[in-house]
């Protein structure tokens, strides 16, 4: 009797394995694909920021920055509905918050140069945190210096900033709108000149 019972238990286990095995395999495959897709999205953000780190007004650069909070958010733990972040994910989101906060503090610095130096420092820290999260062996000096930026690109970016800043000051009433009068009628100018000469003679 016990032999029959043991056989029945084995049959049950084998049947369960046959049924549940493919299900677990499919779920495991989905989990692997989910991790792969997440890494690819994170890698795309990092690569875009690296490629455009000399052109920080570039549309793709700004879009990638705004995706950091989403892609490095972490994951929700089922049932208790609590977010879990690894230390590396926390380092990325904290670096992004510090950099993002600094971008709106330009007026709190004595000069644009001082603000720009701190801006570069925080941006490099952000890239470094992302590199660590993606297992890239970069140091901060390498991220800061290994960047090609033609002088013309820098001049163009600074020109854009000056134009936008000037327009903002005019709209906010901080600066007057300069106007110039040109192309006076030559005959009118001559007549006014002759009248003035006659008045002097008289």
- The residue with greater pLDDT, 77 or 187, is 77
Residue 57 CA to residue 40 CA, distance in Å, equals 24
Q: What is the mean pLDDT of the chain?
A: 79
Residue 118 CA to residue 93 CA, distance in Å, equals 18
Per-residue pLDDT tens for 52-93? 998 888 899 999 999 999 999 988 777 777 888 999 999 999
| pLDDT the model gives residue 86 | 93
| pLDDT the model gives residue 96 | 97
Q: Which of 20-29, 64-73, 112-121, 133-142 has the lowest mean pLDDT?
A: 20-29
Beta strands in the chain (DSSP E): 75-77, 82-84
Query: Once rounded to an integer, what is the mean pLDDT over residues 25-39?
Result: 74
Q: How many angstroms from the chain centroid is the CA of residue 71?
A: 12
| pLDDT the model gives residue 202 | 52
Per-residue pLDDT tens for 125-174? 999 999 999 999 999 988 888 766 666 665 666 677 677 777 877 888 77
At residue 130's C-alpha, the angle toward residues 128 and 80, to 5°, is: 135
186 pLDDT above the threshold of 50: yes
Count of residues for the chain? Answer: 202
Residue 70 CA to residue 92 CA, distance in Å, equals 11
């Amino acid at each position: 009797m016990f032999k029959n019972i043991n056989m029945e238990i084995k049959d049950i286990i084998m049947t369960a394995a046959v049924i549940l095995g493919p299900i677990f395999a499919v779920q495991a495959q989905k989990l692997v694909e989910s991790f792969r897709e997440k890494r690819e999205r994170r890698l795309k953000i990092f690569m875009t920021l690296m490629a455009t780190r000399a052109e920080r007004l570039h549309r793709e650069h700004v879009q990638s920055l705004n995706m950091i909070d989403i892609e490095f958010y972490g994951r929700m733990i089922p049932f208790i509905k609590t977010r879990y972040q690894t230390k590396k994910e926390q380092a990325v989101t904290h670096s992004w918050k510090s950099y993002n906060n600094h971008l709106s503090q330009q007026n709190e610095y004595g000069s644009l140069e001082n603000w720009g130096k701190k801006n570069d420092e925080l941006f490099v820290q952000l890239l470094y945190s992302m590199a660590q999260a993606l297992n890239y062996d970069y140091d901060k000096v390498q991220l800061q210096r290994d960047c090609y930026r033609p002088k013309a690109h820098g001049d163009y970016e600074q020109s854009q900033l000056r134009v936008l800043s000037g327009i903002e000051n005019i709209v906010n009433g901080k600066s007057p709108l300069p106007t110039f009068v040109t192309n006076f009628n030559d005959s009118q100018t001559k007549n006014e000149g002759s009248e003035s000469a006659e008045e002097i003679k008289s």
